[in-house]
Amino acid sequence: MRALVRETRLSPDDFVYPLFVCEGEGVRREIASMPGAFNLSIDELVKEVEAARRVGVNSVILFGVPDDKDAVGSEAYAEDGITQRAIRAVKRELKDVLVIADNCLCEYTDHGHCGVIEDGEVLNDPTLDLLARTAVSQAQAGADIIAPSNMMDGFVIAIREALDESGFEHIPIMSYAVKYASGFYGPFREAAGSTPQFGDRRGYQMDPANSREAMREAELDYEQGADMLMVKPALPYLDIIRAVRERFDLPIAAYQVSGEYAMIKAAGRLGWIDEERVALETLTSIKRAGSDIILTYFARELAQRLT
Ligand code: PBG
């Protein structure tokens, strides 16, 4: 009877699996603060995506971890950048995998900020040009969706126009529309080596105390042509997921970020919680709050349990 009247069901179809791709061959380096998540060289990445496919996860989002970083994040938009090569390899080796490209500069800049810096400040508009170039190069490599995560003002329209001008009118934008300046990104920054070398991201990411501002951010991205709206992190912001769901008819995504994953893994390892049960409970809550799409590092591990 419980199964008959259950209101929310998780499926591997809901999941997007975030993966970190690095240089080299045969590299499968576990991220210390994210047990079960790895920096993968392209050959290992292909194997990981294949394994995820076997348990029903058909969508991945890729983050590049380049060897060489510079002030303007050149590797982000290089034709042979690590992300571009990774996208090509996955699309070539595996059929029917949806590849989402995270679009940001922080993994590629030596200062770790999401944009170009002048006098210690991130410059909004010059950064937009670089994000647009990055988006086009990702689409050229074969990305199915572009997911801009850097929270500069006007990033959706800048990327939309650049994609359209280059013949990629059909490529959708999944905007990280509501992204909070969160302590929960810590483990990700270890994985991507993208910790800001000075200051923080509060100039462009949102104050965790604000919800009306979240609606304004989402509205702007909606008007600029975003095809999907994301809220991030997920569990501490279920009220925001619900509010965005009720206000917009677009598909809504939520990102269960690295720190959310790390907390569950850590307490599970200590034997303080039942890891799998808690992970499924959080993902169910995120879906119940109104998210259609869930980005989660648990995707591969838990997909098997759901089928
Ligand atoms: C890039 C980006 C970040 C995350 C996704 N895209 C890091 C940040 O803003 O510092 C975090 C994801 C996670 O913590 O799992 N801007």
Residue nearest to atom 7 of ligand 1 (CA): 185
Residue 185 Cα: closest atom of ligand 1: 14
Calculate mean pLDDT across residues 68-88.
95
pLDDT of residue 199: 84
Whose alpha carbon is nearest atom 14 of ligand 1?
Answer: 185
Mean pLDDT of 118-122: 88
Q: Is the pLDDT of residue 121 over 90?
A: no
29: phi then psi, degrees, rounded to nearest 5: -105, 115
What pLDDT score was predicted for residue 120? 87
Chain mean position to CA 272: 29
pLDDT at position 74, please?
A: 94
Q: What is the position in ligand 1's atom list of the atom closest to the CA of 150? A: 16
pLDDT band at 25 (very low <50, low <70, confident <90, very high): very high
pLDDT at residue 47 in the model: 98
- Please work out whether the CB of residue 114 comes within 6 Å of at least one atom of ligand 1: yes
241 CB-near residues (< 8 Å, 6+ apart): 231, 234, 252, 254, 286, 289, 290, 291
CA of 37 to the centre of ligand 1 (A): 15
Token pair 């800048």 is found at: 158
Name the percent of the chain lying above pLDDT 90. Answer: 89
Closest residue by CA, ligand 1 atom 8:
185
Nearest-CA residue for atom 5 of ligand 1: 149
Residue 198 has pLDDT above 90, yes or no: no
CB of 189 within 6 A of ligand 1: the answer is: yes
38 CB near ligand 1 (under 6 Å): no
CB of 188 sitting under 6 A from ligand 1: yes
Q: Answer whether 150 contacts ligand 1 (Cβ < 6 A).
A: yes
Q: Is the Cβ atom of 102 under 6 angstroms away from ligand 1?
A: yes
On the question of pLDDT at 57 being above 90, the answer is yes
CB atoms within 10 A of CB 193: 16
> What is the Å distance from ligand 1's center to 126 Cα?
21
Sorted by sequence, the CB contacts under 8 Å of residue 120 that are 6+ apart come out as 198, 199
**Which ligand 1 atom sits closest to the C-alpha of 149?**
16
Ordered domains of the chain (ranges, CATH): 2-306 (3.20.20.70)
Atom 6 (ligand 1) nearest CA: 149
Q: Which atom of ligand 1 is nearest to the CA of 261?
A: 15
> What pLDDT is attached to residue 18?
98
Question: Mean pLDDT, to the nearest integer, of 119-136?
Answer: 93
Average pLDDT, the chain: 96
Q: Cβ(262) to ligand 1 under 6 A?
A: no
Catalytic residue numbers? 179, 232
3-state secondary structure the chain: CHHHHCCCCCCHHHEEEEEEEECCCCCEEEECCEEEEEEEEHHHHHHHHHHHHHCCCCEEEEEEECCCCECCCHHHCCCCCHHHHHHHHHHHHCCCCEEEEEECCCCCECCCCCCEEECCEEEHHHHHHHHHHHHHHHHHHCCCEEEECCCCCCHHHHHHHHHHHCCCCCCCEEEEEEEECCHHHHHHHHHHCCCCCCCCCCCCCECCCCCHHHHHHHHHHHHCCCCEEEEECCHHHHHHHHHHHHHCCCCEEEEECHHHHHHHHHHHHCCCCCHHHHHHHHHHHHHHCCCCEEEECCHHHHHHHHC
Ligand 1 pocket, 104 CB below 6 A? yes
Task: Write down the pLDDT at residue 196.
Answer: 85
User: Mean pLDDT, to the nearest integer, of 155-182?
Assistant: 97
**Ligand 1 closest atom vs CA 259:** 14
pTM of the model: 0.96
Give me the pLDDT at residue 197, please. 84
Q: Is 182 in the pocket of ligand 1 (CB under 6 A)?
A: no
